[in-house]
Chain A
Amino acid sequence: MKSRGDEEEYWNTSKFKAFTFDDDDDELKESKEAVKSLPQLSDQDDGDLVEKVSWSGEPVGSISWSVRETAAAAGGGTDGEPAFPSRIPADAPNVAKVNSGYSLSSLFKGRKAANVAAFADASGDPLGRILAPEIPKPKSEKQAVSLERFRCLQDKMRLLDWSVGTHDGNVITAVLISLKKSLSKEVLIGELASRQTALRHFLNYLSESGDEALLGDIYSALGRTEDAALLQYKRHLSIADEEKRRDFLKGCLSLQFSAEDQSQVRDQLSLLERQMVIEAADRQAERGGKVEIFQRFPRRASIPHMPLITTLYYCCFYHYDQPEGSFSSPLNVRQSFKISEKQFFVTALSARAKQKSWSDVDALFTSRSWLGFTRKKSPLAFQKVVDILHRNAAPVRVLQDYVGLVDDAEARMALAHQHKCHDLVINTYRDSKDRRLLLGYRGKVEAGSAAERKIDELLNDSQIRWKN
């Protein structure tokens, strides 16, 4: 544990610097001035050395620029008009259509063929014999190897192991695809269990190609239940309909998540269910046109699928005074989902400030003083409270209460100045008997205002012993 003293020392001695420009202000100004004052000697900004650049900054002639240009030309009504004069002679020879019933078997071509050949030549390998006739000497570019020729399981697995040895995901996948076709699920899973690399590629292949059923089977067979659960759970992202998503999430509860994920998914489901109830009721209320709040602040979006805190905000905004037993009561939401004090506080504060319910805001700070104290307490620094209130256009009379509660004297005065909390500033100067600063501040308040009158009264008060 760090002692208080340590912390103090840390704050006072560490060299954590503010990331400021120091006096660079002037430097930037200087270079700006220079740029401005430099004569524009020619009309053309682009000299010979300057690459031609379109406004978007892309050099004219770059690929992405051209894609846009040629596409625009094509889409520009004159359908089919070539963007560039065609240079093909009319009698251009037809490219012979090599119909390459491209299949698994033709994957080893070019360089890879050399690999296979090298592999096949490896001294007296039985696979070599199977492979050899398939590999023509490098006459044509494409060389095919038929994977179907690997008949017995042992050969198949040797092929798989060889493919893993290449580390080429493409080759491994190709072999796996053919194995998936020719082997039973159980046998394949059994063999893959002892071949981790191949297994990973197979899992990746299945998830990319959307074969979730088999993927789930494999995870379960290997005892990787958490992965299986997360994989299944991920599918909910693509379900937009709330009822379908709810049912899906219900199904997810039986999956074998880790304990903590399990409880989160349960919360997610219960949140969605709650949102649907609230949504149904509020939509009706809004349509009915009788509930004032929905008239005054029309809802901008529906609530299902929103995060929990957003939902809490919504409830603080539209249902602040609901009894605690109600589904839409903020306190009920808070209880049910164990929302932390700070989160609840900030959310309620923002929502009530947005509505300019300053009495609610006030109550947030005082309601917890069960001993009858009225001293305001906040789980959030008062500086941040002021920030939130200010963002919601709180009037000075509200702001100044909270500015006054800021701990740090310097920060407090800065905020008081910034938000024109005159009373605070004036009282501080009075208390510090600083006539000069008070006099200076007189110039900053509006002429004829109450603040000005107050300053004048103080300045004329003969009871005060000014220090300057």
Chain B
Amino acid sequence: MAAHLSYGRVNLNILREAARKELREFLDKCAGSKAIVWDEYLTGPFGLIAQYSLLKEHEVEKMFTLKTGRLPSADVKNIIFFVRPRLELMDIIAENVFNEDKLHSTRDFHILFVPRRSMLCEQRLKEQGVLGSFINIDEYILDLIPYDGDLLSMEYESAFRECYLENDQTSLYHTAKGLMTLQALYGTIPQIYGKGECARHVANMMLRMKREFAGIQNQILPVFDTLLLLDRNVDLLTPLATQLTYEGLIDEIYGITNGYVKLPPEKFAQKKQGEASKDLPTEPKKLQLNSAEELYAEIRDKNFNAVGAALSKKAKIISAAFEERHNAKTVGEIKQFVSQLPHMQAARSSLANHTSIAELIKDITTSEAFFDNLTVEQEFMTGVDTDKVNTYIEDRIAQKDPLIKILRLVCMQSVCNNGLKQKVLDHYKREILQTYGYEYILTLNNLEKGGLLKPQTSSRNNNPTIRKTLKLWMEDANEQNPNDISYVYSGYAPLSIRLTQLLARPGWRSIEEVLKMLPGPHFEERQQLPAGLHKKRQQGENRTTLVFFLGGVTYAEIAALRFLSQMEDSGMEYVIATTKLINGASWIKSLMDTPEAQMH
């Protein structure tokens, strides 16, 4: 099931196994038959850890979605709530429990908080008078969830908001905890680098936690050589830009959640030969996307302009393989061919799916609207006319385009201009509030607090210097056969990844000046390894860096890091971790304060 987790440089399956073990242990604590009541949000992340079969082995007989009212009847000994620590969920649980007591009194209740217990929630249950009904209240520490062979995410949606708007460092605490778990499994990481306030905090916490464990030496040979902690607010620009890799575009257009994407079904209707076309399915087609699928692993990180060619190449290979059957003459050859069939069938259906997805995406990327939007983004990224009101944005507001799209562009302009002139900012704000509703005052305030939208405070704009020094814009980005990370945005090299690249070679000392222009401190720490655990590196052996994005990372940035890992002379392989996989839209949405933004 999760074999693809162990293909990478670091075997992330170990982490998954550890998580499974803990889950089993909790289930066994509640002896007897069980029903699990799920906070629906959690089923996705849990799906990456365990299948239903594992739960069944531990006497989970029924599963329900958490809903108001009465619990469905089920002849089980235990009812276990698997929930995030959120107050509104506590109210639902209280209602469930309250209604239950009148009917049956024999079922036992338990709560498993994911990823942490919360005093606030327990307090709420107490106020509702049901806290005493629970036999077990426990936490399931699911800090870092393995998403792929080289990717970990906490799926902590509000991390950026908490860190940069509310100054609440709880997510950083969880991050540090998650990194401690990771070190317990994969060895102490000898070198820690970081940039940004939050990075500094996390590093401090890690070092302090390590001191508290003093005496208990970690005897595991370190797998990671370096940890790089990066604040999202060091690079606010990148997530705002439209991602142009295949996976990035799938996420931009359809949204990838927990490794799945839901697509319009029309293109996926299966027609068997000789069968009249049946009614088209109306339910969206749900597909799992990860490196377990060979074709997807090959094309996910390509610029979308190179995907067509890759698919066509694959089509030829598969066709040729199927043609082989004509050459199979002897029984042995036929047997050989038949044994390959399942694999070929899988490849065929994979090709069919991705051809359909590519078609869907192409319809959008070739539209005028997409082109116009991209043109403006690229103007901003290259510093063209960022200091005046942009006609395109004005027009799009007048045409009532989705607000998130507008906010994304306005924020991008502000970030690229190091703040907008007061007059320009006021104009945008006015237009937005008049068109979309005055209640978005709250959203605009949040964006200001987060630094995405701000008035110009000094006439000095460091962006041109930063852009030039770090080579953030490459005129001749090669989309087909890339030679630089800038291919992921067709010209723009994500700043976050450039920093990562430069850290590996030639080192940050070469860019001190620019680092000082970016927010927050940059630092380096070393963690002592017990004697005997120092790695003896083989000639030509790559080093491994864990890059942790505090506040979110996009698929395009991940693609750029994978590109660096694969570069022959880079000498570095990257494993990526983050608080949340984001794109510009989901990120802005997490900063909105209106009712529709709170609906999931």
The answer, yes or no, to whether B570 is at the interface (CB within 8 Å) is no
Docked-complex contact B362 and A346, CB < 8 angstroms: no
- In the bound complex, what is the Cα–Cα distance between A269 and B78 (angstroms)? 53
> Of all chain A residues, which has the CB nearest B312?
A27
The answer, yes or no, to whether B490 is at the interface (CB within 8 Å) is yes
Binds A, one of B351-359, B412-420, B494-502, B534-542: B351-359
> Of all chain B residues, which has the CB nearest A112?
B117
Docked-complex contact B132 and A173, CB < 8 angstroms: no
A19's contact among B30, B132, B374, B397, by CB below 8 Å, is which?
B374
Docked-complex contact B59 and A27, CB < 8 angstroms: no
Chain B residues closer than 8 Å to A28, beta-carbon distance: 308, 311-312, 355, 358-359, 362
The answer, yes or no, to whether B55 is at the interface (CB within 8 Å) is yes
A167's contact among B46, B169, B378, B476, by CB below 8 Å, is which?
B169
Docked-complex contact B74 and A74, CB < 8 angstroms: yes
Chain B residues closer than 8 Å to A98, beta-carbon distance: 135
Chain B residues closer than 8 Å to A2, beta-carbon distance: 385
Docked-complex contact B365 and A19, CB < 8 angstroms: yes
Q: A70-B63, A100-B137 are in contact. Are A337 and B166 (CB under 8 A)?
A: no
A307's contact among B305, B351, B430, B434, by CB below 8 Å, is which?
B434
Considering the complex, which residues of chain B in the window 129-171 have a beta carbon less than 8 Å from any beta carbon of chain A? Answer: 131-132, 134-135, 137, 166-170
Docked-complex contact B315 and A35, CB < 8 angstroms: yes
Q: A31-B312, A63-B46, A80-B73 are in contact. Are A45 and B345 (CB under 8 A)?
A: yes
The answer, yes or no, to whether B348 is at the interface (CB within 8 Å) is yes
The answer, yes or no, to whether A418 is at the interface (CB within 8 Å) is no
* The 10 residue pairs across chains A and B that have the minimum distance between CB atoms: A47-B342, A57-B286, A169-B170, A24-B308, A34-B315, A268-B438, A27-B308, A66-B52, A31-B315, A27-B312
> Of all chain B residues, which has the CB nearest A47?
B342
B436's contact among A307, A337, A338, by CB below 8 Å, is which?
A307
Chain A residues closer than 8 Å to B434, beta-carbon distance: 307-309, 337, 339, 343
The answer, yes or no, to whether B254 is at the interface (CB within 8 Å) is no
Chain B residues closer than 8 Å to A104, beta-carbon distance: 119, 123
Chain B residues closer than 8 Å to A197, beta-carbon distance: 167, 169
- In the bound complex, what is the Cα–Cα distance between A79 and B281 (angstroms)? 30
Binding site for A on B (CB under 8 A): 30-33, 38, 40, 43-44, 46-47, 50-53, 55-56, 59, 61-65, 72-78, 87, 108, 116-120, 122-124, 126, 131-132, 134-135, 137, 166-170, 172-173, 176, 201, 205, 212, 244, 260, 262, 270, 272-273, 281, 283-288, 304-305, 307-309, 311-312, 314-316, 318-319, 322, 341-343, 345-346, 348-349, 351-352, 355, 358-359, 362, 365-366, 370-371, 374-375, 378-379, 382, 384-385, 394-395, 397-400, 426, 429-431, 433-439, 441-442, 445, 475-476, 490-491, 593-595
Chain B residues closer than 8 Å to A324, beta-carbon distance: none
Docked-complex contact B170 and A50, CB < 8 angstroms: no
> Of all chain B residues, which has the CB nearest A269?
B438
Q: Find the residue from B166, B288, B400, B441 having the highest chain A CB count within 10 A.
A: B441
B87's contact among A42, A170, A196, A208, by CB below 8 Å, is which?
A208
Q: A70-B64, A82-B74 are in contact. Are A31 and B311 (CB under 8 A)?
A: yes
> Chain B contact residues: over half helix, strand or loop, or mixed?
helix
Chain A residues closer than 8 Å to B365, beta-carbon distance: 19-21
Chain B residues closer than 8 Å to A234, beta-carbon distance: 442, 593
Chain B residues closer than 8 Å to A271, beta-carbon distance: 438
- In the bound complex, what is the Cα–Cα distance between A42 and B273 (angstroms)? 11
What would 9 A/B residue contacts be, using CB atoms closer than 8 Å?
A17-B491, A19-B365, A34-B316, A56-B284, A56-B286, A74-B62, A204-B166, A309-B400, A346-B399
Chain B residues closer than 8 Å to A92, beta-carbon distance: 31-33, 77
Docked-complex contact B398 and A83, CB < 8 angstroms: no
Docked-complex contact B64 and A34, CB < 8 angstroms: no
- In the bound complex, what is the Cα–Cα distance between A429 and B168 (angstroms)? 68
B32's contact among A15, A88, A97, by CB below 8 Å, is which?
A88
- In the bound complex, what is the Cα–Cα distance between A127 and B169 (angstroms)? 25
Docked-complex contact A308 and B168, CB < 8 angstroms: no
Q: A31-B315, A264-B441 are in contact. Are A62 and B126 (CB under 8 A)?
A: no
Chain B residues closer than 8 Å to A381, beta-carbon distance: 395
- In the bound complex, what is the Cα–Cα distance between A19 and B490 (angstroms)? 9
The answer, yes or no, to whether A230 is at the interface (CB within 8 Å) is yes
Docked-complex contact A209 and B120, CB < 8 angstroms: yes
The answer, yes or no, to whether A177 is at the interface (CB within 8 Å) is yes
- In the bound complex, what is the Cα–Cα distance between A75 and B65 (angstroms)? 12
Chain A residues closer than 8 Å to B288, beta-carbon distance: 53, 57, 59
- In the bound complex, what is the Cα–Cα distance between A335 and B507 (angstroms)? 59
> Of all chain A residues, which has the CB nearest B82?
A63
Docked-complex contact B398 and A42, CB < 8 angstroms: no
Considering the complex, which residues of chain A in the window 284-339 have a beta carbon less than 8 Å from any beta carbon of chain B? Answer: 306-309, 337-339
Shortest beta-carbon distance, A93 to chain B, in Å?
7
Shortest beta-carbon distance, B74 to chain A, in Å?
6
The answer, yes or no, to whether A384 is at the interface (CB within 8 Å) is yes
Shortest beta-carbon distance, A65 to chain B, in Å?
7
Docked-complex contact B398 and A170, CB < 8 angstroms: no
Chain A residues closer than 8 Å to B65, beta-carbon distance: 67, 71
Chain B residues closer than 8 Å to A260, beta-carbon distance: 426, 429
- In the bound complex, what is the Cα–Cα distance between A375 and B32 (angstroms)? 84
Chain B residues closer than 8 Å to A27, beta-carbon distance: 308-309, 311-312
- In the bound complex, what is the Cα–Cα distance between A262 and B491 (angstroms)? 42
Chain B residues closer than 8 Å to A238, beta-carbon distance: 595
- In the bound complex, what is the Cα–Cα distance between A32 and B438 (angstroms)? 48
Docked-complex contact A169 and B342, CB < 8 angstroms: no
Task: Map CB proximity to B onto A230-241 as digits: 1 under 8 Å, 0 otherwise.
Answer: 100110111000
Docked-complex contact A84 and B173, CB < 8 angstroms: no
Chain A residues closer than 8 Å to B397, beta-carbon distance: 343
- In the bound complex, what is the Cα–Cα distance between A30 and B312 (angstroms)? 6
- In the bound complex, what is the Cα–Cα distance between A45 and B342 (angstroms)? 9
Chain B residues closer than 8 Å to A22, beta-carbon distance: 305
- In the bound complex, what is the Cα–Cα distance between A33 and B400 (angstroms)? 40
The answer, yes or no, to whether A152 is at the interface (CB within 8 Å) is no
Shortest beta-carbon distance, B429 to chain A, in Å?
7
- In the bound complex, what is the Cα–Cα distance between A56 and B399 (angstroms)? 35
The answer, yes or no, to whether A456 is at the interface (CB within 8 Å) is no
Docked-complex contact B399 and A201, CB < 8 angstroms: no
- In the bound complex, what is the Cα–Cα distance between A40 and B365 (angstroms)? 32
Chain A residues closer than 8 Å to B371, beta-carbon distance: 18-19
- In the bound complex, what is the Cα–Cα distance between A46 and B318 (angstroms)? 17
Chain A residues closer than 8 Å to B74, beta-carbon distance: 74, 80, 82
A57's contact among B285, B379, B433, by CB below 8 Å, is which?
B285
Apart from A168-B173, A346-B399, 5 more pairs, CB < 8 Å: A62-B47, A83-B61, A170-B170, A201-B168, A309-B435
Chain A residues closer than 8 Å to B170, beta-carbon distance: 167-170
The answer, yes or no, to whether A10 is at the interface (CB within 8 Å) is yes
The answer, yes or no, to whether A431 is at the interface (CB within 8 Å) is no
Chain A residues closer than 8 Å to B72, beta-carbon distance: 71, 74-75
B305's contact among A24, A30, A35, A118, by CB below 8 Å, is which?
A24
Shortest beta-carbon distance, A408 to chain B, in Å?
14
Chain B residues closer than 8 Å to A71, beta-carbon distance: 62-65, 72
Chain B residues closer than 8 Å to A84, beta-carbon distance: 56, 61-62
The answer, yes or no, to whether A48 is at the interface (CB within 8 Å) is yes
Task: Map CB proximity to B onto A4-24 as digits: 1 under 8 Å, 0 otherwise.
Answer: 000000100011111111101
- In the bound complex, what is the Cα–Cα distance between A34 and B320 (angstroms)? 10
Docked-complex contact B123 and A82, CB < 8 angstroms: no
Chain B residues closer than 8 Å to A38, beta-carbon distance: 318-319, 322, 348
- In the bound complex, what is the Cα–Cα distance between A11 and B399 (angstroms)? 25
> Of all chain A residues, which has the CB nearest B321?
A38
Docked-complex contact A21 and B305, CB < 8 angstroms: yes
Docked-complex contact A19 and B305, CB < 8 angstroms: yes
Docked-complex contact B131 and A102, CB < 8 angstroms: yes
Docked-complex contact A21 and B318, CB < 8 angstroms: no
Q: Find the residue from A34, A260, A342 having the highest chain B CB count within 10 A.
A: A34
> Of all chain A residues, which has the CB nearest B170?
A169
Docked-complex contact A169 and B168, CB < 8 angstroms: yes
Docked-complex contact B123 and A177, CB < 8 angstroms: yes
- In the bound complex, what is the Cα–Cα distance between A30 and B64 (angstroms)? 45
Chain B residues closer than 8 Å to A35, beta-carbon distance: 315, 348, 351-352, 355
